[in-house]
Each structure stands twice: as structure tokens, then as C-alpha cells.
């Protein structure tokens, strides 16, 4: 969870940054950013997923690997700590990279098994 509620800056103060559409850079586009914490708003076409999506992936993974309930709980805490549910700043690709990174570290499962489920 992010500590910030995110207030967009006004329309005059946008940051010119690369814009991605379907995973490819499509030139620069003005991005609004949060006036409070400075986080740039994600304008990717790939909408971020809910934490629930990743819980389903964990459940699926649990059919093939031994995952204790406490490990799942720790995963959720870590995903919240990393603000993975913060749709303002995170796109789907960033979420997936983070999820794989956390899961490999905390659950000791092969990266390939995770990628197949995303
Ligand atoms: Zn903010």
C-alpha cells in the first residue's frame, strides 16, 4: 500500500516521458504526476492487476509446489509493502516483474513456473 493518496499535478505541469502502448515505446507524451510524492502516473495501455489476480496465481502454483498459508500471507504483505496495488504508478509489466522477484525469493519456486501462470 502506498502512503500517498496521489493528487495529480495541474494540467500545466506535466512531465514529458516515453509512452508505452502494447509494450512498445510510442514516443513522448506528457504524463501527469502526483503533486504530493512525485510519482508519475502510469499511462500504459496494460492496466495494472488487482492483488487478487496474484493470489489466484499463488493458489494455482500451490497445486504443483508446497506453499504454506503463512508464506502466502507474507507474500501479500510484501506485495502491499512494495505498493504493487498502487495503480497510479505501476503498470502490469512492472507488477509482474515484482511478483516474480518476490515469489522466487520467498517461495523458492522456479521463475519459469511463475512466468507460465502470468
Ligand atoms: Zn502520491
> Residue range 41-62: average pLDDT?
89
> Residue range 3-11: average pLDDT?
86
CA of 89 to the centre of ligand 1 (A): 9
Q: Identify whether the C-beta of residue 51 lies closer than 8 Å to the C-beta of residue 76.
A: yes
Residue 2 domain flag: no
Check residue 76 and give its pLDDT: 93
Residue 10 domain flag: no
How many domains does one find in the chain? 1
Residue 1 domain flag: no
Residue 77 domain flag: yes
Check residue 63 and give its pLDDT: 94
Check residue 46 and give its pLDDT: 78
CA of 35 to the centre of ligand 1 (A): 7
Distance, CA of 116 to CA of 118 (rounded, Å): 6
Confidence of residue 107 (pLDDT cuts 50, 70, 90): very high
Nearest to 43 by CA among 78, 67, 8, 83: 8
Helices assigned H by DSSP within the chain: 51-61, 69-81, 92-107, 111-117
Check residue 27 and give its pLDDT: 87
Residue span of the structural domain in which 70 resides: 15-117
Residue 38 domain flag: yes
CA of 105 to the centre of ligand 1 (A): 28
CA of 7 to the centre of ligand 1 (A): 6
Whole-model pTM? 0.80
pLDDT above 70 (res 1)? no
CA of 110 to the centre of ligand 1 (A): 34
Q: How many CA atoms lie within 13 A of 9 on its CB side?
A: 17
Residue 106 domain flag: yes
Amino acid at each position: 500500500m502506498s502512503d500517498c493518496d496521489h493528487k495529480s499535478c495541474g494540467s500545466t505541469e506535466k512531465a514529458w516521458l516515453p509512452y508505452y502502448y502494447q509494450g512498445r515505446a510510442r514516443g513522448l507524451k506528457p504524463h501527469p504526476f502526483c503533486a504530493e510524492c512525485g510519482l508519475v502516473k502510469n499511462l500504459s495501455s496494460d492496466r495494472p492487476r488487482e492483488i487478487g489476480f496474484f493470489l489466484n496465481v499463488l493458489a494455482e502454483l500451490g497445486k504443483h509446489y508446497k506453499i504454506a498459508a503463512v508464506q502466502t500471507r507474507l507474500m501479500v504483505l510484501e506485495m502491499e509493502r512494495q505498493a504493487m496495488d498502487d495503480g497510479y504508478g505501476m503498470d502490469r509489466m512492472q507488477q509482474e516483474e515484482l511478483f516474480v522477484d518476490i515469489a522466487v525469493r520467498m517461495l523458492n519456486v522456479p521463475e519459469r513456473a511463475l512466468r507460465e501462470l502470468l
